[in-house]
Amino acid sequence: MELLTNPIRTYAWGSTSAIARVQGRPVPSREPEAELWMGGHPSAPSRLIRDGAEHGLDALVAADPAGELGASVAAAHGARMPFLLKLLAAETPLSLQAHPSEDQARTGFAAAEAAGLAAGDPRRSYVDPNHKPELICAVGEFSALCGFRSVERSVAVLAPVVSAVPALKPLLDGLRLTPDGGGLRTFVAGLFALPDADQVAVAFADACRAVIGESPDYRLAVELADQFPGDIGVVLALLLNHLVLAPGEAMFLPAGVLHAYLHGVGVEVMACSDNVLRGGLTPKHVDVPELLRVVRFEVMPPEPFPAVEAGPGVRVWAPPVPEFVLTRVVLDEAGGRASLAGDGPRILFCLEGAVTVDDGTDPAELRGGQAGYVSAGHRDVTLTGTGTVFQATTGSE
C-alpha cells in the first residue's frame, strides 16, 4: 500500500473541527473544512511518493491505466480513477441539488462546450461528461433531505401555512388535483416561475414561524430560511423526505434524486465527477430548465440504503453502479483482523485508531485521518489492529 497526501476543500458550509479532529490537528482550523478528497479527480488529486518522486494519482492512472486499475476497469472507465472517496463535514446545509445520468451529462457537457462557456463560468452546470451517483455513510448522526415524499404528506404540511401566502395557493391546489409526479413537476416549475419568489419565500418562512411548534417540518423551514433568506428552495425543501442516519447507516443517491445534506459528518464515495444541478439553498447559479430536465419527480421512501454484513465488523454497501463499492471495517479489539477480497484499485481511509494494511507487497500503517492506495491485482488485503477503516473500490460491471 502507498500512503496518500489528500487535499482539503474549504467550502463555507464546512466545519472548523470535524476533519481537523479526525486528523489530529489543532481545533479550530483556520477556515471551514468541508471535504477531504481521496482519489484522482483532476481538480484536486491525491498525491503519493513512488520511486523517490511525488506523483498525482490522476497522472499515475493516466500513464498506465491497465496497470493501476486493471484491464477490465480501464476498458470500462478509461484512463481515470472511476471513484472519488471523501470525508465530508457539513456544519451548515449544502444546496438542494441533483446529479445527471450518463446520457444527460454527455449531452449537457457537449452543449456547454459548444456554447463556449469557460470551465469556471458560474453559469456552467456541466464541468465534465460523467454522471455522479454517490453514497454517504454516517460517522455520527447525519441529517439530509432526500427524494420526494408522498404528495399527500406534502399537501398536509403545506396547507396550514399556504393560507397565509396567497401566491402559493394555486400551486397547492394544482398539486391536490394532480397528486403524482406530473403534479410535483408542475408545482416545482411554478415555484421557480413566481415573479416575486424572494418575497414569497420570506412570507412562507414567516407563516412557518407562526406555527413552528406544530411540526418539525416548520422548524426546519424556519432554520433554513434564517440561513438562506428569500430563497424559494425553503418551500421546495418541505416536499422532500427528512432522513436522519444513525452512525453506520448509509444513503445512496442515483441520478435525478433531489437532495441536500443538512448537518453531520460522513464518508462519501461517488463516481469521479463534479456535475451538480442546484435547486436552491444557495447563492450559486440555479439552472431551472436543466434542473427540471434532470430531476426524477417520483416519490421515494425515506429509508437508508441496505448493507451486507460480510463478516464480524465488516459492512458492505454495493449500489447498482459499476464505479464503486464502499466497505466499513471496525476492528474493536487489539489484534483484530479482517481480510478484504478483490482485484480492482482501492483507496483505504482510516477514520480512527491504528490499522496495518497488508496488500501482500508493501504493508503500511494507517492512523486516524490517513489514507492509502492499493493498485489493481492485489487479490486480498488484510487489516490488523484496532480502529475503523473505510475501503472504496470498483463494483461489478
Could you say which DSSP state residue 366 is in?
E
Q: Are 346 and 382 in contact (CB under 8 A)?
A: no
Distance CA 173, CA 302 (A): 25
Distance CA 89, CA 267 (A): 9
DSSP-derived pairing of the beta strands 240-245 and 259-271: unpaired
Q: What is the 3-state secondary structure (H, E, C) of 116-136?
A: CCCCCCCCCCCCCCCCCCEEE
Q: Of 149, 278, 315, 328, which is the active-site residue?
A: 278
All three cell numbers of 387, joined, read: 480502529
Q: Are 161 and 207 in contact (CB under 8 A)?
A: yes
Helix (H) or strand (E) holding 355: strand 346-358
Distance CA 357, CA 383 (A): 5
User: 164 in the Ramachandran plot: left (φ > 0), alpha (ψ -120 to 50) or beta?
Assistant: alpha
Distance CA 239, CA 147 (A): 8
Q: What is the largest CA-CA distance in the chain?
A: 69
Burial letters for 349-358: b for 16+ Cβ neighbours within 10 Å, e otherwise?
Answer: bbbbbebebb
Q: Which residues pair with 245 in a beta bridge?
A: 142
Q: Are 338 and 383 in contact (CB under 8 A)?
A: yes
Where does the chain have alpha helices with state H?
18-23, 57-63, 65-69, 71-77, 102-114, 151-162, 169-177, 181-193, 197-210, 216-227, 233-237, 288-294
> Would residue 278 show up in a list of annotated catalytic residues for this protein?
yes
Q: What are the catalytic residues?
A: 278
